[in-house]
Chains A and B, each alone.
Chain A
Amino acid sequence: MSSYTYRRYEYRKPAELDGASERRPVVIVGAGMAGPTLALALAQRGVASVILDEDDTVSLGSRSICQAKHSLEIWDRFGVASRMVEKGITWEQGELYLHDKPVFRFNLQPEPGHKFPAFVNLQQYYVEEYLYERCLAEPLVEMRFRNKVVGITPGGEGVAVDVETPDGRYTLAADWLVACDGVRSTVRHLMDLPYPGEVFHDRFLIADIRLLSELPKERRFWFYPPFHPTNSVLLHRQADNVLRVDFQLGRDADPEEEKKPENIDRRLRQMFGPEARWEHEWTSVYTFTCRMMERFVHDRVIFAGDAAHVVSPFGARGGNAAIADVDNLAWKLAMVLRKTAPVALLDSYCSERRAAAEENILNSTRSTDFITPRFPASRAFRDATLSLARDFPFARAMINSGRLSVPTGQRGSPLDTPDGDADWSRGPAPGCAMLDAPIGREAGSWLIDRLGPGFTVLAFAETDMSLGDLPSGVARVCITGDGLARQRYDGRPGTTYLIRPDRYVAARWRRFDGAAIAAAVRRATGNG
């Protein structure tokens, strides 16, 4: 059924079953997108981890497809992002249809001058495959397939994990356990932690098909099309000429009936015309929920990604938020393990990523309410917006078929130093993600490539200057000249930014001040 070949990753008998009892600094549960990303981010900081996964292959079927710029920038640090961009589909144009007519086209890539595009469409199984390969080549990461977590015993200074394998059970002792095991998190269930939220009742049908002819690289969104007149249809292109067609079915649809191949084919035939030929890759009928845990950190057990929060698929905020979670966590956990930061630094992981999850839930719920209005007046306004859009451009901005997933702000985090200078006209404020820009005279030279694995001071100056004394481990980047970087950072000479290891702005000043930088680093590491 699928054009993707699912290879089996090798199970090896864990050393613990032969009597080993080495305590591990970090055990990661789940080898989806988040788990391996966390392991690689920890490895870059010298921290070893073990990934436990109950399965021995990558994600099955149609799951995350829109890999956002911020995620690509994170994966680029492990050298796997360019491969994803090459394999995936970079898309910019989209077109929205009402009934049988195009209403308007949109461009999601308005700004040049970034190393990575706003989005690449790539099936989750490829993302995981590339991450697995990188993990398997990394000495500080051990991947254990067919290792199913069956028990969690939290303790004050660590956690014991009971694991079931084809060769029997063993117990793994860890300083920290990170649950990246998805929306149905085994760890969360074993710890009997609640997962409060909202259930949405609309059903959607996903049909991933491989079209045997070339297609435009654009996203298409139909409301009330002739081939599905009562609801909406979304079309995405993915690698290998695979298309995801997402039919909104409504609340009362019969999933078994809708899933029948002849019923799917009938819809697709009306959609693509009599000449089209396709093969089915994957079919499912889904509903979704928006949920979030009260706390993401429970003593030595930390939750990330879908295990901690889950949103509707509109806006690509599931997988991308999971990657941002583990990037936020990795540097903090590494510092805590090295004892260069207090354990309390991890409280900021919870507060910052909960704020991000709230923003993602708000955005995806708004998209959901637009796509599936929940009461009659809501539908009346949605339809009014659609019908105004062709002649009144303002209404196009209100059409919410999923907003572009951009890094969420974490304004007001206790780690950030609020602005002291008042004369900022633009530039990322403390709590915002840093912005990439081309730097230097050579093409292909990007700001994100110049940042260190730890904190980085980004200074704007007339001429290249040495930046006095910086706290140990803080990298420096000095930018001269009138480039895009200077514009994006409102970077008149003297302007100095402190960038966190997860590439958020921690502080900024109008003049270079070594003592202020040192204080901001202490504050951003919980040592203030």
Chain B
Amino acid sequence: MADITTGALRRTLNLARPDDVYNAIVDAHRDLDDEQCRAFDARLILLLANHIGDEDVLCEALAAARQTLEDA
């Protein structure tokens, strides 16, 4: 991973209650099958992307998500 001080995407904690947010995301997927999960995630990503509104942040997040997937 690149130096955490560079770039537009925040890499350090930005949530007051990280456990609650994590579990809220997971719980929202409960009882959905794979296809429904994909549909749900697509809606969520689009809503958040528009809210963030910063193309640099989004592109960096997309690259980071893909990179960590390939590293795994």
Contact = CB atoms under 8 A, between A and B. Distances in A.
A388 B43 contact: yes
Main secondary structure on chain A at its contact with chain B?
helix
Interface in B34-56: 38-39, 41-43, 45-47, 50
Interface in A363-388: 376-377, 380-381, 383-385, 387-388
Contacts of A377: 38, 42
Given A377-B42, A381-B42, 16 more contacts: A376-B38, A381-B45, A381-B46, A383-B39, A383-B42, A384-B39, A384-B42, A384-B43, A385-B46, A387-B43, A388-B43, A388-B47, A392-B50, A395-B46, A395-B50, A398-B46
B46 A380 contact: no
B38 A380 contact: yes
A486 to B, nearest CB: 32
A385 B47 CA distance: 9
Nearest to A384: B42
Contacts of A387: 43
Contacts of B45: 381
Interface residues of B, number: 9
B34 to A, nearest CB: 10
A381 B43 CA distance: 7
Interface of A: 376-377, 380-381, 383-385, 387-388, 392, 394-395, 398
A380 B42 contact: yes
Contacts of B43: 384, 387-388
Which 7 A-B residue pairings sit nearest by Cβ, starting from the closest? A384-B42, A394-B50, A384-B43, A380-B42, A380-B38, A381-B42, A380-B39
A389 to B, nearest CB: 10
Contacts of B42: 377, 380-381, 383-384
13 contacts: A377-B38, A380-B39, A381-B45, A381-B46, A383-B42, A384-B42, A384-B46, A388-B43, A388-B46, A388-B47, A394-B50, A395-B46, A395-B50
A8 B10 CA distance: 69
B69 to A, nearest CB: 13
B29 to A, nearest CB: 14
Contacts of A385: 46
Nearest to A377: B38
Chain A CB count within 10 A is highest, among B45, B46, B47, for B46
Contacts of A398: 46
Interface in B9-61: 38-39, 41-43, 45-47, 50
Contacts of B46: 381, 384-385, 388, 395, 398
A341 to B, nearest CB: 41
Contacts of B39: 380, 383-384
A392 B38 contact: no
A338 B70 CA distance: 60
Nearest to B50: A394
B38 to A, nearest CB: 5
Contacts of B50: 392, 394-395
Nearest to B49: A394
A388 B43 CA distance: 7
B67 to A, nearest CB: 18
A376 B45 CA distance: 16
B64 to A, nearest CB: 18
A384 B47 CA distance: 10
Contacts of A376: 38
Contact of B47 (A380, A381, A383, A392): A392
Contacts of A380: 38-39, 41-42
A387 B41 CA distance: 13
A376 B39 CA distance: 10
Chain B CB within 10 Å, residue with most, of A376, A381, A383, A395: A381
Contacts of A395: 46, 50
A383 B39 CA distance: 8
A339 B39 CA distance: 62
